[in-house]
Amino acid sequence: MLSDSLRDFLGHIRLERGLSELTALAYKSDLELFLGYLDNELKLSDFSEVVRDDILDFLELGQADGLSSSTLARRLVSIKVFFRFLAFEKVISHDITEIMDGPRLWQVLPDFLGVSEVDSLLAVYSGKHELLAIRNCAILEVLYASGLRASELTSLRLDKVDFNEGYLRVLGKRDKERVVPFGQEASQAMLRYLREVRPKHDKSGVALEFFLSVNGRPLTRERIWMIVQDAARLAGIEKRIYPHLLRHSFATHLLNNGADLRVIQEMLGHASVETTQIYTHTDVNRMAQAHKQFHPRS
């Protein structure tokens, strides 16, 4: 059970690390909330099932509830220390939080990127002729155009992209498929990648995934993180950037331009109680219309 590992962790930090009772109580409070989210919202019973996006979604819910950046940063610290303990105790095979930048490096936990910041980010590889630049341009365009999680982008298959209709069929968390529109900018970037780059990477011609490494293998979530962070550095963006921030920017920009919140929630594939309580079925045509009308690059 999840609670058993939490009990072991609290005993560890009290007895072996000698942390104060006040610090232990802070860890306990943060982690009980997180474990409640895993249990009640995601129906998970094993830490090996948790992915990085689950943690980001948990923090995003707190952000939506109006929690301060310092509170969110403290929660992330608690989760990172806990997962380090789980990996050390062999409860999980590896620490999925290791690549996540520590909040000590963040001035704030940014809500989203401004439209001008997104434009700067997407301009980094636009018009370049190097193979990886063309691929990375398409990756950034798709992340922002469709609000995909990094894990959804890495698992996106060729046969799930419909250029005629402008839709992706995305396999989200817990293997739930949803349909998400993408605009003209993303379409052009993806088509260029398919013409000029992918055939050179998929020398065997049998790869199913849309985006590939130079060796013809599917990209990892870690590689997507690096691509986004490298682009932010080249764009001169000083915020700590990660793929989920583009997802949040996607939703925020649509909402700020008047898109219906329930349509956005369906595009994102949210599974939390807060979103499912106001969830209503939206057909594909309505999603496409909202995307075309309200997304800055559609």
Torsion sign over Cα 134, 129, 113, 78? positive
For 76-92, what is the mean pLDDT? Answer: 92
Model confidence over 129-170: pLDDT tens digits?
999 999 999 999 999 999 998 889 999 999 999 999 999 999
Tokens (6 digits) for 11: 């005993």
Of the listed ranges 19-23, 27-31, 259-263, the one predicted with least confidence: 259-263
CA atoms of 165 and 284, how far apart (whole Å):
10
Q: Confirm whether 2-103 and 115-294 share one CATH topology.
A: no
The top-scoring range by mean pLDDT among 4-8, 99-103, 106-110, 284-288 is: 4-8
For 226-249, what is the mean pLDDT? Answer: 89
**What are the distances in angstroms from CA 39 to CA 1, 14, 45, 138, 255?**
10, 25, 7, 36, 30
CATH 1.10.443.10 fits domain 115-294: yes
pLDDT (0 to 100) of residue 60:
77
CA atoms of 83 and 30, how far apart (whole Å):
13
Residue 118 has pLDDT above 70, yes or no: yes
Are 215 and 201 spatial neighbours (Cβ–Cβ below 8 Å)?
Answer: yes
CA atoms of 216 and 172, how far apart (whole Å):
23
| Catalytic positions | 149, 173, 244, 247, 270, 279
The top-scoring range by mean pLDDT among 3-12, 70-79, 136-145, 250-259 is: 136-145
| Region 2-103: CATH code | 1.10.150.130
Domain borders along the chain are 2-103, 115-294
